[in-house]
Amino acid sequence: MAVRSSHLEFIRYFAAAAASLAVDVGVLTLLVSCLGWQYLPAAVTSFFAGGVFLYFLSTSFVFQFRRIPNAAVELPVFIGLGLAGLLVNTIVIYVAVEMAHVHYLIAKGGAACCTFATNFVLRRNIMFSRLAQTP
């Protein structure tokens, strides 16, 4: 039963992450193309916008168990765990744009692929799973 639940959570997280990626890319595009921001600060800002959106989807749609019952504490922990993803996101985008001369939105796609699994594993294991029980 736990394997089935984990599989379902992974599928739901994938869908939620895709939706939050749409928010992230939308904000990134708005900031860079419409407001003239430099791509790296825009990527950091949009990453947080997508992260907040993903938090609300994760707590309402993806995960059934919440280890931290207080949302005022849970959201900063969720975002804090995403800092590993933010680091990867920023490095991949920078390297792709500055060294490989790739468009920032294509670089964002590559960065999203690199951060998805890391963020799922960290968040699920630290925030949204019961502690392992010994028999």
pLDDT profile of the chain (135 residues), mean per 10? 72 95 96 97 94 94 88 90 89 95 94 87 87 48
Structural domain boundaries, residue 11: 2-127
Residue 135 is assigned to a structural domain of this protein:
no
Residue 93 is assigned to a structural domain of this protein:
yes
Residue 99 is assigned to a structural domain of this protein:
yes
What does the pLDDT read at residue 93? 93
Give the type of residue at 17.
A
pTM metric for this prediction: 0.81
Count: domains in the chain:
1
What does the pLDDT read at residue 116? 87
CA 82 – CA 53 distance, rounded (Å): 13
What does the pLDDT read at residue 3? 57
